[in-house]
Amino acid sequence: PTTLCYYFKSFLTTFGNSKELLEVTAKMMLDFICEEGIALKASDITIASTGKAARVYYNVKKTKVKSNRLISYDCMEDIITLITMRSPMIKGSKKPKYIDFDINEDYRSRVTINYRDRGYMITMRLFEKYALTKSLEDWNLSPNAIKWYREQFCDEESGLRLIVGEPMSGKNTTAATILSDYARADTMKIISVERPVEQHIEGVEQLTAEDIDDYVANVQSLIRTNPDLVYIYPKDFDSKKEIEKII
């Protein structure tokens, strides 16, 4: 039988280049963008509409790195459809959409889709799937900071510990590393409540929530689960009212 490639080549030879035949599908384009972001070790990827097209750029160590890729508005819409396949966006809604999206076997993404004046903006935070195995010494921390964490923050005193900071300052990474250290000792029952789970940690019972009601219910259930250590990660809530509901 004659291969499909033969017909494509015959068409191009007779009629010239065809946009329909040469256009990259949304799935392939999204794969290219994600692979480029992973290769650059970007913390997140942004795809933003600019009228009839969309531009792509990466956040690499808090530096904006532009991609040479310029995709069509139709392809942008197809990418949104692909990402939100399991939980479609409500047509006409201006509310942000939050999606947990698998990129490949090694990486996943927490996606935020915002409506803007000329279309949409997709922001994809990149996370490695494998369980966190690093310790505090593996990060770019000073010896004094590591000593403080181990002697003051991770002491045996009961009570509340807060980790706060600006976006991309390493709050969740620091907390996950500390939890991983506790988990390796394997002497305590550790439970986390996250929305969503960003980094899988061996030895920690990680509870994930899709919305505020699931989150509150999981927090309230902790009283009956008898944990020794609890990690609460109140992330991506839409209003002060939602935070007050958790408290």
The full 3-state SS of the chain, as one line of letters, equals CCCHHHHHHHHHHHHCCCHHHHCCCHHHHHHHHHHHHHHCCCCEEEEEECCCEEEEEEEECCEEEEEEEEEEHHHHHHHHHHHCCCCCCCCCCCCCEEEEEECCCCEEEEEEEEEECCEEEEEEEEEECCCCCCCHHHCCCCHHHHHHHHHHHCCCCCCCCCCCCCCCCCHHHHHHHHHHHHHHHCCCCEEEEECCCCCCCCCEEEEECCCHHHHHHHHHHHHHHCCCEEEEECCCCCCHHHHHHHC
pLDDT at 6: 67
- The mean per-residue pLDDT over the stretch 119-142 comes to 83
> What is the per-residue pLDDT across 157-175, written as a single tens digit (0 to 9) for each?
888 888 888 877 778 888 8
Q: With both helix axes pointing from N to C terminus, report the angle between 73-83 and 26-39 in degrees, rounded to the nearest 10.
A: 80
Higher pLDDT, 197 or 186: 186
pLDDT at 191: 93
Other beta carbons within 10 angstroms of residue 227's beta carbon come to: 14
> What is the per-residue pLDDT across 14-41, written as a single tens digit (0 to 9) for each?
776 555 555 567 888 899 999 999 999 9
Peptide bond into 196 cis (omega under 30): yes
Distance separating alpha carbons of residues 146 and 245, to the nearest angstrom: 34
Radius of gyration of the chain (CA): 22
Question: Out of 42-51, 149-158, 198-207, 236-245, which region has the weakest mean confidence (pLDDT)?
Answer: 236-245
Paired with 206 in beta bridges are: 192
75 contact partners, CB below 8 Å, separation of at least 6: 23, 24, 26, 29, 54
Mean pLDDT of the chain: 82
Distance separating alpha carbons of residues 163 and 79, to the nearest angstrom: 35
- Look up the pTM and report it: 0.65
pLDDT at 140: 80
User: Strand order in 229-233's β-sheet?
Assistant: 204-208, 190-194, 229-233
Kindly indicate the confidence band of residue 246, based on its pLDDT and cuts at 50, 70 and 90.
low
Kindly indicate the confidence band of residue 124, based on its pLDDT and cuts at 50, 70 and 90.
very high
pLDDT at 121: 93
Amino acid at the residue 141 = L
Question: Out of 13-22, 73-82, 154-163, 231-240, which region has the weakest mean confidence (pLDDT)?
Answer: 13-22
